[in-house]
Structure 1
Amino acid sequence: MAEKKISPWVKAALDWGPLIVFFVAFNRLKDGTYAILGTDYSGFVVATALFIPLIAASTLILWALTRKISAMQIATLVLVLIFGGLSVWLNDPTFFKMKPTIIYLLFAGILGAGLIRGKAWLQLVMNEAIPMAHEGWMILTKRFVGLFLALAVANEIVWRTMSDEIWVDFKTFGLPIILIVFIMSQTKLFERHGIEKEEGDEAEK
């Protein structure tokens, strides 16, 4: 089934909405303890419990609107359900804090496995947005593997050594900013190995 186009604003709301809700909920609830069904939960765990159904709903809505979900989005949703669910079930925020580490290690492992086979699997996700020659994709994939490994280490350091407030800020703003800056820093690579869309269209004919 062909992918349907949606407004960039709608997609941005679906992608970032659950995370923003988590950030706001945490900051409003972080200093309290909340009794639910006879068990006391911290504001962190309550915010996590709100985040899980929101990201599941946003992913389903995105699929309903576009008929397409990337492998990364599926992996992220599954890990949120597992690690977020464990945090709520066991009343321990540690599992949710570990989720970014597992996600980045998973992505690095998958991309690294592709590199060993001479394939740039990152191209399957980003080629439509950034048309580029195979050599360029191989270089970019290697750099992304390094980035994901560095982010996994950074997340471990932050959640293990700093406060919940700092970790939530890091997850909500720090990680996205690092990814954006990293992609912007690859401009020369895109220019060196880029392929004009018109050329790509002609090649498909």
Structure 2
Amino acid sequence: MATAPRRKVNPLLKFLFEMGPLGLFFIANVRPGLFNPLVERVLPAAMFEGPSGNVFTATAVFVPVTILALVVGLVVMRHVPIMPLISGIFVLVFGTLTLWLQNDVFIKMKPTIVNTLFGVILLGGLYFGRPLIRYVLDAAFDLKPEGWRKLTLNWGLFFLFLAVLNEVVWRNFSSEFWSAFKLFGTMPITLIFAGSQVPILLKYEVKPEEATPTLAGNGEAEAG
């Protein structure tokens, strides 16, 4: 059975699908009163009154909104990129553990584990001669093998850097600072890093004339 073709989606809408849940997580952590009347209908009100109450409120919002974003993204785009999909699975697992055990360490460690996983997959694949970055980043461009290898190495190391950075922030700063840093720190750093990789994309991009031989060239070869 043939799979449904992917739809071209406005980049801003795609960004909203992927970053909207994180933005709501930040808002719920800063202004839990906006969401507590809703989450207290399904969870004990007492769990939102302690020192970690804001994180629990934010997590209670984050989990269903993340799953909803994945479902809507699948319907609209007919495709869910591997990174948001894996991250969404970890949000579901670690968010549920956070609320069930009433321990915010689980949701705070989620970025560490996800980024470490991506980093290990990329560097491990590169070690075995398989540059997997095109699958992890859902790449829509074509590069020469050397370009894929360089991108895979750079992104693998960057994901490990993000894992270490998350550990440093959540272990040494308040929950409010950690939540804000996820949105206003990690995202700009990632965008800056992604921008720094553009020269590699340009240098190793496979041009149309390099991808397939010309008809004229084939005709000459056959005539000879």
TM-score greater than 0.5 by the shorter chain: yes
Going from structure 1 to structure 2, the CA distance change for 1:7 and 1:187 (only over 3 Å counts) comes to closer
Q: Secondary structure at the match of 1:39?
A: helix
Question: Match for 2:120 among 103, 106, 109?
Answer: 109
Q: CA deviation at 1:128?
A: 4.4
Deviation at 1:48, TM superposition (A): 0.7
Contact 2:56 2:102 in 1 (8 A): yes
State how far apart, in whole Å, the 2-side matches of 1:7 and 1:143 are: 27
Identify the residue that residue 124 of structure 1 maps to in structure 2: 135
Secondary structure of 1:40's match? Answer: helix
RMSD of aligned residue pairs (Cα, Å): 2.2
**What secondary structure, in the 3-state scheme, does the structure 2 residue paired with 1:129 have?**
coil
Q: 1:26 maps to what in 2? A: 29
CA distance in 2, matches of 1:74, 1:200: 34
Match of 1:9 in 2: 12
User: Do structure 1's residue 51 and structure 2's residue 62 form an aligned pair?
Assistant: yes
Q: Deviations over 1:152-175 (max 9, x none)?
A: 111101100111121111111211
Shift of 1:146: 1.0
List runs of 5+ in structure 2 lacking aligned partners.
216-224
Number of the residue aligned with 2:184: 173
Per the normalisation by structure 1, the TM-score is 0.89
- The amino acid that maps onto 1:93 is D
Distance verdict in 2 for CA 1:178–1:28, change over 3 Å: same
The one of 69, 73, 86 equivalent to 1:62 is 73
Work out the CA distance in 2 between the residues paired with 1:85 and 1:121: 30
Counting only pairs closer than 5 Å after superposition, residues 124-203 of structure 1 correspond to structure 2 as: 124-126=135-137, 128-196=139-207, 198-199=208-209, 202=212
Deviates more, 1:11-20 or 1:74-83: 11-20
Which residue of structure 2 lines up, in the alignment, with residue 85 of structure 1? 96
Structure number with bigger Rg: 2
Note the C-alpha offset of 1:74: 1.7
Q: CA deviation at 1:8?
A: 2.5
Q: Say if 2:46 is the partner of 1:39.
A: yes
Q: Identity percentage over the alignment?
A: 33
String of CA shifts for 1:24-44, please: whole Å, max 9, x gaps: 1111128xx997436322021
The alpha-carbon distance between structure 1 residues 161 and 5, as it changes in their structure 2 partners (threshold 3 A), is same
Distance between the aligned counterparts of 2:12 and 2:45, measured in 1? 41
Deviations 1:110-133 (A, max 9, x none): 112211221111123447434321
Is there any run of 5+ residues in structure 1 with no aligned partner, and where? Answer: none
1:69 & 1:127 partners in 2: Cα distance? Answer: 9
Amino acid at match of 1:15: E
Distance 1:49 1:188, change over 3 A: same
Aligned partner of 2:47: which letter?
D
